[in-house]
């Protein structure tokens, strides 16, 4: 009886080591995983023409007292900041990322804020190819946009 009890205690007290098994076909690193997906990841380039006072970071002209010695300085600064001198418009560009979800149909998903109000949308692929894109649809609540190249 004492021998059986000792055998039982030793079986419970001896730790058992289990060697984890890994999937034999999985990628060895994150870099290996990413390498196989590079073709699906794209850059989205957009441009839009905005009036000088509408662009990102636009600062309104300060209201100065009549006869201020700074009036000429601010007039020159705000009227000659670049863009189209005739109507005060300028071209604004932005960049984002997206994913090809249907290569045969040329469907790309990106964020809505990347393409919002864009005049032109281009999709830049990892192999250097750039294609014009058209907007298929957007969902502002989820910030998703679907493009077609």
Q: What is the CATH number of the domain that holds 95?
A: 2.40.10.10
Min mean pLDDT across 6-20, 38-52, 92-106 is at 6-20
**Domain residue limits at 114:** 40-50+89-148
| Per-residue confidence band for 15, with pLDDT thresholds at 50, 70 and 90 | low
Contacts 24+ apart (CB under 8 A), 48-52: 48/91, 48/92, 48/117, 48/118, 48/119, 48/120, 49/89, 49/90, 49/91, 49/92, 49/119, 50/89, 50/90, 50/92, 51/87, 51/88, 51/89, 52/78, 52/81, 52/83, 52/88, 52/89, 52/90
Give the pair of three-digit tokens for residue 133. 């894109």
Is the pLDDT confidence value at 53 over 60?
Answer: no
Say if 123 falls within a structural domain.
Answer: yes
Say if 82 falls within a structural domain.
Answer: no
Say if 1 falls within a structural domain.
Answer: no
Say if 13 falls within a structural domain.
Answer: no
| Residues 80-131: tens digit of each pLDDT | 655 445 556 778 888 999 999 999 999 999 999 999 999 999 999 989 999 9
Number of domains in the chain: 1
pTM tops 0.85: no
Say if 108 falls within a structural domain.
Answer: yes
Say if 93 falls within a structural domain.
Answer: yes
């Amino acid at each position: 009886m004492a021998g059986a009890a000792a055998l039982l205690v030793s079986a419970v007290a001896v730790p058992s080591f289990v060697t984890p098994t890994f999937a034999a076909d999985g990628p060895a690193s994150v870099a290996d995983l990413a390498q196989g997906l590079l073709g699906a990841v794209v850059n989205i380039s957009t441009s839009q023409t905005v009036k000088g006072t509408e662009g990102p970071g636009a600062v309104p002209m300060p209201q100065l007292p009549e006869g201020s010695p700074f009036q000429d300085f601010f007039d020159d600064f705000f009227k000659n900041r670049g863009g189209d001198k005739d109507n005060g418009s300028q071209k604004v560009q932005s960049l984002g990322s997206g994913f090809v979800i249907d290569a045969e149909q040329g469907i790309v998903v990106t964020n809505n804020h990347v393409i919002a109000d864009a005049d032109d949308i281009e999709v830049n692929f990892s192999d250097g190819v750039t294609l014009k894109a058209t907007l298929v649809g957007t969902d502002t609540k989820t910030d998703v946009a679907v493009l077609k190249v």
